[in-house]
Amino acid sequence: MTTRDADEPSGLERALPLLRIVLPLAICVLVLGAWEYVVVARGIPPYILPAPSLIARTLVADWPTLYPSLLVTLRLTFLALAAAVVGGVGLAILFAQSRLIELSLFPYAVMLQVTPVISIAPLIIIYVDNTTAALLICAWIVAFFPILANTTLGLNSADHNLINLFQLYGASRWQILWNLRLPAAMPYFLGGLRIAGGLSLIGAVVAEFAAGAGGTATGLAFRILEAGYRLQIPRMFAALILISAAGILIFLLFTAISHLALRHWHESALKREQ
């Protein structure tokens, strides 16, 4: 085998980009086909388990109702994520500047993370007069910790030999932060952002469930509750599909952003010669 032949990618490696799309789609088609067959063959009524074809028709028929609710949920999701980024990155920078502050405040961030938001959402909705603000707080609690924890880890992972070199040349604390610590933390932050994107959607839906019971929300979670009360099970599935699709798109969006930000300099995104 020549050196050129050894360096050339195999057929499987060339097909990997296509396989990443084809294989999941094939499994999805098989699952949906089996689902449709079981429902039709056994005559399962739609109020117990609707067929995928009925869910698709319901999604199209109810789109004028579901789409505005989707926008409400996405607006809450991205507002919570933006607040989590600002608060998490800001607090992580503060932690990086003072070990005492980190030791004092980090346990409370852990407490927020381990407390189920569904258990405190009713209290937040009671004590916060503005319903939108209450929902935003609930979603922010869920998305905040991954940003804080990952960014703190990244800031503390900067090469200490380089830090000593910066100090040797008289760099200030903020110069070290801007030119060394923040670039070192970027991959960690972007990893936390991908996690927090999905969690902010989960937090928004959970918060809407807590508030939707009182008829004070119009997001997709409220549409699921409303459909459940009326036994409109196909609409419940249609709303659930929209939530899942939104979560997948959010993850893909932040994955693409991470790749674009890191592809020219970080090992995790560089293309390697085979």
DSSP string, 218-252: -SHHHHHHHHHHTT-HHHHHHHHHHHHHHHHHHHH
pLDDT of residue 192: 93
pLDDT of residue 73: 93
Residue 1 has pLDDT above 60, yes or no: no
pLDDT of residue 201: 94
pLDDT of residue 215: 46
Tell me the per-residue pLDDT of 153-165, one tens digit each, with 9 for 90 and over. 999 988 889 988 9
Q: What is the per-residue DSSP string for 18-75?
A: HHHHHHHHHHHHHHHHHHHHHHHHHT--TTT---HHHHHHHHHHTHHHHHHHHHHHHH
Give me the count of residues in the chain: 274
